[in-house]
Amino acid sequence: MKEKKALHRFAIALMFLYLFMPLIATFLYSIATDWHDTVLPKGLTLSWYVKLFQDVRFVAALGRTLFACSVAVGLNIAVIVVSLFIVSLYLPKLERFLQAFVMLPYAIPGVIGAVGLIKVYSSGPLAISGTVWLLIGAYFVVILPYTYQGTRNSMRTVDLPQLVSAAELLGASKPKAFFKVVLPNILPGVMVAALLSFSVLFGEFVLTNLLVGGYYETVQIYLMRRMRESGHLSSAVVISYYLFVFCLSWIALKLGQNFKNGNFDNLRGKKYELPHYR
Amino acid sequence: MSYLIIDKVTKKFDGTVVLNEISLAVERGELVTLLGPSGCGKSTLLRCIAGLNEVDGGRILLNDRDITYLAPRKRGVGMVFQSYALFPNMTVYENVAFGLKMQGLKGDRIAARVREMIDLVGLAGKEESYPRELSGGQQQRVALARSMIVEPDVLLLDEPFNALDAKIRKMLQMELKNIQKKSGMTMIFVTHDQEEALTISDRIFVINEGRVAQSGKPLEIYSQPASEFVARFIGNFNVLKGEEFERLVGEPLFSGKSLAIRPEIIKLSLNGENGKGHNGSWRIKGKVVGVFLKGNILRYRVRSKDSILDVDVLNNSMDCSLNYDTSVDLVIPKDEVKVLNL
Amino acid sequence: MIVVRGTWAQISKNLWLAGALLPLATMIFGFELLPIMGMLIDSFRADDGNVWTLGQYITALKNPYYLVAIKNSLLISLLSSFIAIVAAAFVAYFVTRLKPKSQETVLTYVNLTANFAGVPLAFAYIIMLGNSGLFTILFQRWGLDIFSEFDLYSWSGLVLIYVYFQLPLAILLLYPIYFEIKEQWREAAHLLGASDMQFWLQVGLPVIMPGLVGTFSILFANAMGAYATAYALVGSNYNLLSVRIGALISGDVYARPHLASALAMLLALSLIAAMLTNEYMMRQVRRDLK
């Protein structure tokens, strides 16, 4: 059994080497002064990061990304929480029906989504093609599966209908029951879903490029355009982006652990039930 | 007029009739139990009284008010749920105080009442704990305190002790009864456990298929079951067809009827011991085919002709228990054989 | 009276509910259903948009250019999924043999790399293996000729990078499936005289087979729909179905939205087939075991 254990460990280590190699290489490249014909970089520096965050174009792209993602996630969370509250209280039969539509975006890769969106919004009464509003609409739909599942799981774990019944029997009105009892209890789960959605959108490239690429430069588009100009600078973009997503996941993980009902586990399990399109 | 009146209430789910023109009345200060098998409609009735389910017909009157179509929070009804339904984000204190806060009362004015109530349910010192830090029994005490503090006209308890283990359950039953007597609050308790119902109730409504099968004081229900259903559900009654019993005792008395005989009123003696039964009882010969120890009671299963009868004997160590295949005589007092309505 | 009042209350309540659900319904309709319907209709229209025709589908399936794109997409999806699932089948199993705490750690890190895809991934590979990439130059210096023929911007490069983003997903999907094999089965099999290999062939593999097939179909769908990574690496030059669709809707000169719709519909069909396969297979795992 012993040598088998060693074999297992070796195989797993090999996998990690393969999976982390690109990240490590990118990281080293982002802190290297010059590195093109030597085994190791000639010197180390943080100047690429300084340069990056002094680049007006990058900062603007970052601002645009944050704006589009925040609006989409904020709007989506508000709409989903209210809708699910109502559905699970008054129209539980509607839930399966709703779920079908809400989960559909999981199965639609960005290229397909873009074809339809461009067709509908490039002309006619709602010609918002090339504007951030089309992007926000598309983002809204992309993250529906995540926010829906996170919110629904939170509501299930606290047994929302019964909690509301209990509050009402103690004299609370529906809005009061919502704000005093339901919201505080589902908030951690909803926050986890929001963070997850945010990091998904932060890495979104396909829809962004096809829908508004020429007009609305996000971080991903910025990276795409500059990666052949300056490798070091682009490495800094990649590592910054990755650190940001890592922080979001870490906060979500902590939130999930504090929230002892295991909501985050459900969410994490679900996340990989269907593919992510790249 | 009674305090709470359920008047011909009907409730259907997807066309299935769950409550079938059910009627019952509860007096002020009573603790009544709705007892029945799962799916008999007892919980649905409770939820209809609370306004959590809408009725399809009939009326509900509470304290001279028609509450049939009122919103739950306007009914003056409290409820304790099987799964406690405590607010996980609030401490014990905050949970108990919730109802008073909803009435617009402010912090320091309610503190005394909240503490008093927490004392009453025996949770002093746990005020700052969160529900998840408490045991099931403690959580249910919080739930009880939370619903009692607003002094509802009637408190509904939906199988509140179901999720608890037997020991804690017995203790809480006693405590609930004490608290109820002390506070004088009207309570309706739902359970499928006949022992629990017999222990705590002032009166019992046995519910079957959306109707009241029998109502009465625990002793009445237990000793005078009105129907085969009640007899079978309430106790471990021996329920026999009339013809079957006639074959046993050799007297044509009960054709076409059903009979119930409580296991503990049958006397059991060894074969041949002091001869005949008295005028007031029947004597039957049989063989022991099973012995079950139930703590303070020994249950013998006795076969006589083709019938099986259970006999309960107090388990005092003086009697040595009988073995399988022992021939025994059963003595059944005539006036303890209950004829059941169909 | 009461009944009438009840009805009125019912109606106003329903109106209120409908109003509250309107925002979600609008967004789903506007940005999900409407585009899908629009695309479906467009795919049956001629380029001028006025005539009903099957022409776009005929072009898609007859024109060698698009036919090759479809073929390439199918090939790279099948190949990368196959490599990833074989590797993942071993690694995921090895992970299940670790201590529970270590399992969690390993999965957390795998999860971390699962997010590394698209443009950043393509970029990282360009740094490592591009024309003047770190490893490329390193290998040249060391005179490792085996690697001199490797070209990141070709078929082999694409496969390498597709496998990279398929592997974490495959591991995360396969990992829970191994828990369907109960430890007692293995013990029972050994007590009955089976060797490790016999146990896997007779019991283990048959049990997880539907899970493997289901996971494979998801990986396949994942690769079929992938666009960003390939686009970032080779632009519109390499002939893949998803890249073709992107070019047909974004290219100013060559924009042919109706043809793009037909190709997108074909892509969608292949994804639906993969999804249904997965759904069916996963139900098999459950039915076998419960």
Q: How many domains does chain B have?
A: 2
Tens-place pLDDT, residues A5-54? 888 899 999 999 999 999 999 998 898 887 766 667 777 888 889 999 99
Q: Is the pLDDT of residue A260 over 70?
A: no
| CA distance to partner chain C, nearest, from residue A58 (Å) | 15
Q: Does C176 touch chain B (CB under 8 A)?
A: no
Give the separation between CA B96 and CA A166, rounded to whole angstroms: 12
Chain C positions touching A117 (Cβ under 8 A) are: 31, 35
| CA distance to partner chain A, nearest, from residue C145 (Å) | 17
Q: Is the pLDDT of residue A262 over 50?
A: no
ipTM (interface pTM): 0.86
Range of the domain at B329: 237-340
Minimal-distance CA residue of chain C relative to A241: C120
**Pairing verdict, β B65-66 and B238-241:** unpaired
From chain C residues 151-190, the ones with a CB under 8 A of any chain A CB are 164-165, 167-169, 171-173, 176
Query: Helix, strand, or coil here: C216?
Result: helix
Chain B contact probe: residue of C2, C12, C14 with most B CBs at under 10 A: C2
Give the separation between CA C108 and CA C114, rounded to whole angstroms: 10
Tens-place pLDDT, residues C93-151? 999 988 888 898 899 889 888 888 889 999 999 988 887 788 887 787 777 766 667 78
**pLDDT score at B153:** 93
B258 and B311 in a single domain? The answer is: yes
Chain A: list its partners (3+ Cβ pairs within 8 Å): B, C
Domain end point (choices B181, B207, B233): B233
- A166 and B87 within 8 Å at the Cβ level: the answer is yes
Q: How many CB atoms lie within 10 A of CB B61?
A: 17
Tens-place pLDDT, residues C243-265? 999 989 887 567 888 999 999 99
B176 and B227 in a single domain? The answer is: yes
Contact A261, A158 (CB under 8 A): yes
**pLDDT score at C289:** 44
Partner residues linked to B307 by β-bridges: B304
B173 and B129 in a single domain? The answer is: yes
DSSP for chain A, written as a single string: -HHHHHHHHHHHHHHHHHHHHHHHHHHHHHTBS--SSSSS-S-B-SHHHHHHHH-HHHHHHHHHHHHHHHHHHHHHHHHHHHHHHHHHHH-TTHHHHHHHHHHHHHHS-HHHHHHHHHHHHSSGGG--TTSHHHHHHHHHHHTHHHHHHHHHHHHHHTTHHHHHHHHHHTT--HHHIIIIIIHHHHHHHHHHHHHHHHHHHHT--HHHHHHHTTT---HHHHHHHHTTT-HHHHHHHHHHHHHHHHHHHHHHHHHHHHSTT-HHHHHHHHHTTSPPP-
Give the separation between CA A91 and CA A99, rounded to whole angstroms: 13
Show Cβ contacts of residue B146 under 8 Å, excluding neighbours closer than 6 positions. Answer: A170, B86, B95, B96, B98, B99
**pLDDT score at B278:** 63
CATH class of A59-277: mainly alpha
Residues A155-180: what's their mean pLDDT?
91
Chain B positions touching C6 (Cβ under 8 A) are: 69
**pLDDT score at C189:** 83
**pLDDT score at C266:** 93
> Of A100-104, A259-263, B113-117, which gets the smallest average pLDDT?
A259-263
DSSP state of C182: -
Q: Is the pLDDT of residue A2 over 60?
A: no
Residues B162-167: what's their mean pLDDT?
89
Q: Is the pLDDT of residue A125 over 80?
A: no
Q: If pLDDT is split at 50, 70 and 90, which confidence band does B293 have?
A: confident
Residues B90-113: what's their mean pLDDT?
89
Minimal-distance CA residue of chain B relative to C5: B69
| CA distance to partner chain C, nearest, from residue B58 (Å) | 11
B289 and B220 in a single domain? The answer is: no
**pLDDT score at C215:** 92
Q: Does C83 touch chain A (CB under 8 A)?
A: no
> Of A96-105, A236-245, B234-243, which gets the smallest average pLDDT?
B234-243
Q: If pLDDT is split at 50, 70 and 90, which confidence band does C286 have?
A: low
From chain A residues 239-258, the ones with a CB under 8 A of any chain C CB are 241-242, 245-246, 249, 253
B181 and B326 in a single domain? The answer is: no
Residue of C113, C224, C261 with shortest CB distance to A115: C261
Give the separation between CA B167 and CA B165, rounded to whole angstroms: 6
Percent of chain C with pLDDT over 70: 93
From chain A residues 35-54, the ones with a CB under 8 A of any chain C CB are 35-37, 39
Tens-place pLDDT, residues C158-205? 999 999 999 999 999 999 889 888 888 888 888 887 888 888 888 888
B248 and B179 in a single domain? The answer is: no
Chain B: list its partners (3+ Cβ pairs within 8 Å): A, C
Residues B3-23: what's their mean pLDDT?
93
Residues A95-119: what's their mean pLDDT?
91
Residues A95-111: what's their mean pLDDT?
90
B35 and B168 in a single domain? The answer is: yes
Chain B positions touching A167 (Cβ under 8 A) are: 87, 98, 102
B60 and B205 in a single domain? The answer is: yes
- A209 and C33 within 8 Å at the Cβ level: the answer is no
Q: Is the pLDDT of residue B191 over 70?
A: yes
B160 and B124 in a single domain? The answer is: yes
Question: Domain of B8: which CATH number?
Answer: 3.40.50.300
Query: Helix, strand, or coil here: B35?
Result: strand
Percent of chain B with pLDDT over 90: 50
